[in-house]
């Protein structure tokens, strides 16, 4: 799950621009270099790959933002961001790796997120409705079981698991990044493993603020950022976090985040507090990559077990990474991710 409060984080962090490190492009996967930028027949060329997709909900029709990069008839990856209520901006590091591997991919801001419509009706922030939203996006983008890879990170990983459990017949591959299959297990890991790593006095003050629900207190994030987030969310000084990550927090919609994740930063609250799909992982038959990291807010050992519980899984461990291992263990992360996609595409998985 996405942890920090956007409006407090901005008061604490110094805004810094830092680009993602670039790797040597990987071998082209299923798309020749010349054809990768072929836009023939595409209806999104005028807008540079952007398409606003209408989403039908019980409260009317709204629009969500998507943006395509590349062209590959066999590999199309839809990226589900974290939060809930965050943005695709956290994924900008993909631009340094996926094009060089010939992977067609889609940024997508879920309903309520910055680039998409932001209705005020809280009844829309419901997990089954988000699953149906993803399905409508899939249909609008013409993704099928012959080419459709669903990637989800954090909350996006939760959403990806839910989608797979209902619609896996539409998938060619599934990637669950930095997300456990149980919110209670995630909370237990934070309580028993991560919190004891903090200075006891710092933890006690954080808990006092948490108990008082004084989440707007600058002291709250002032304690959490150096003592927790720089250790388990993104392992670099917060002022040096990549610009896309900075903008993601700036654009975080707390009207979505709080009802689902809850206001507390020390455990899961809101409507997701009891979410648990650990008993259902064995129903997922499509090729599945689970990504964990040593310093993650999520238990890496638990995520390794997830990869064994699905019918056709692989585990990618990032030994230097945290919750955003795509940045702090970038080479390991993208090498393993692109290899999984390539192996599935070539029938080697």
Q: What is the pLDDT of residues 219-237, one digit of tens each?
A: 998 999 999 999 999 999 9
pLDDT at position 22: 39
- Residue of higher predicted confidence among 343 and 1: 343
pLDDT at position 264: 63
pLDDT at position 276: 98
CA-to-CA dists, residue 213 to 10, 209, 265, 276, angstroms = 19, 6, 10, 26
- Give the pLDDT band of residue 1 (cuts 50, 70, 90): low
Any catalytic annotation for residue 123? no
Residue pLDDT, tens place only, 55-108:
999 999 999 999 999 999 999 999 999 999 999 999 999 999 999 999 999 999
Any catalytic annotation for residue 296? yes
pLDDT at position 12: 39
- pTM given for the model: 0.91
Residue 265 has pLDDT above 90, yes or no: no
pLDDT at position 133: 98
pLDDT at position 16: 36
**Helical (H) or strand (E) element with 105:** strand 104-109
The full set of domains in the chain, from first to last, is 6-345 (3.40.50.1820)
Mean pLDDT of the region 155-167: 98
Which residue is catalytic, options 109, 117, 147, 296?
A: 296
Beta strand 148-153 pairing with 288-293? unpaired
Task: List alpha helices for the chain, DSSP H.
Answer: 6-12, 33-36, 127-141, 155-167, 183-189, 200-211, 218-224, 230-232, 243-250, 254-261, 300-309, 325-328, 330-345
Residue pLDDT, tens place only, 275-290:
999 999 999 999 999 9
- Give the pLDDT band of residue 23 (cuts 50, 70, 90): very low
Which residue is catalytic, options 109, 323, 328, 329?
A: 323
Beta strand 76-80 pairing with 50-57? unpaired
Residue 8 has pLDDT above 50, yes or no: no
From the list 279, 276, 282, 344, the residue with the least C-alpha distance to 310 is 282
Residue 11 has pLDDT above 60, yes or no: no
CB 142 within 8 A of CB 163: no
Cβ neighbourhood burial of 229 (10 Å; 0-12, 13-18, 19+): buried
Strand order across the 76-80 sheet: 50-57, 60-69, 104-109, 76-80, 148-153, 173-177, 288-293, 313-318
pLDDT at position 222: 93
pLDDT at position 19: 38
Residue 266 has pLDDT above 60, yes or no: yes
Any catalytic annotation for residue 154? yes
Which residue is catalytic, options 20, 113, 154, 322?
A: 154
From the list 99, 160, 104, the residue with the least C-alpha distance to 290 is 160
Residue 4 has pLDDT above 90, yes or no: no
């Amino acid at each position: 799950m996405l942890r920090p409060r956007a409006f407090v984080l901005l008061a604490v962090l110094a805004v810094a621009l830092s680009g993602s490190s670039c790797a040597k492009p990987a071998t082209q996967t299923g798309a020749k270099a010349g054809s990768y930028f072929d836009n023939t027949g595409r209806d999104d060329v005028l807008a540079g790959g952007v398409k606003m997709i209408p989403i039908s909900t019980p409260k009317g029709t709204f629009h969500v933002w998507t943006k395509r990069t590349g062209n590959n008839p066999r590999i199309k990856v839809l990226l589900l961001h974290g939060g809930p209520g965050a943005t695709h901006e956290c994924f900008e590091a993909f631009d340094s790796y996926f094009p060089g591997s010939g992977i067609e991919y889609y940024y997508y801001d879920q309903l309520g997120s910055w680039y998409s419509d932001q209705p005020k009706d809280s009844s829309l922030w419901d997990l089954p409705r988000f699953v149906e939203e993803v399905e409508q996006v899939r249909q609008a983008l013409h993704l099928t079981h012959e080419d459709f890879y669903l990637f989800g990170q954090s909350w996006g990983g939760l959403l990806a698991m839910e989608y797979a459990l209902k619609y896996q017949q539409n998938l060619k591959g599934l990637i669950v990044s930095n997300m456990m299959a149980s919110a209670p297990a995630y909370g237990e890991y934070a309580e028993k493993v991560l919190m004891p790593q903090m200075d006891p006095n710092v933890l006690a003050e954080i808990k006092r603020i948490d108990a008082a629900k004084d989440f707007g207190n600058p002291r709250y994030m002032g304690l959490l950022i150096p003592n927790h987030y720089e250790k388990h969310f993104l392992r670099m000084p917060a002022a040096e976090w990549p610009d896309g990550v900075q903008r993601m927090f700036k654009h975080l919609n707390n009207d979505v985040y709080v009802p689902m994740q809850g206001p507390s930063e020390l455990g899961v609250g809101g409507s997701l507090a009891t979410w648990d799909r650990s008993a259902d992982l064995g129903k997922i038959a499509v090729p599945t990559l689970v990504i964990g990291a040593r310093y993650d807010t999520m238990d890496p050992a638990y995520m390794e077990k997830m990869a064994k519980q699905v019918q056709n899984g692989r585990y990618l461990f990032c030994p230097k990474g945290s919750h955003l291992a795509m940045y702090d263990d970038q080479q390991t992360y993208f090498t393993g991710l692109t290899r999984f996609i390539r192996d599935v595409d070539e029938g080697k998985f």
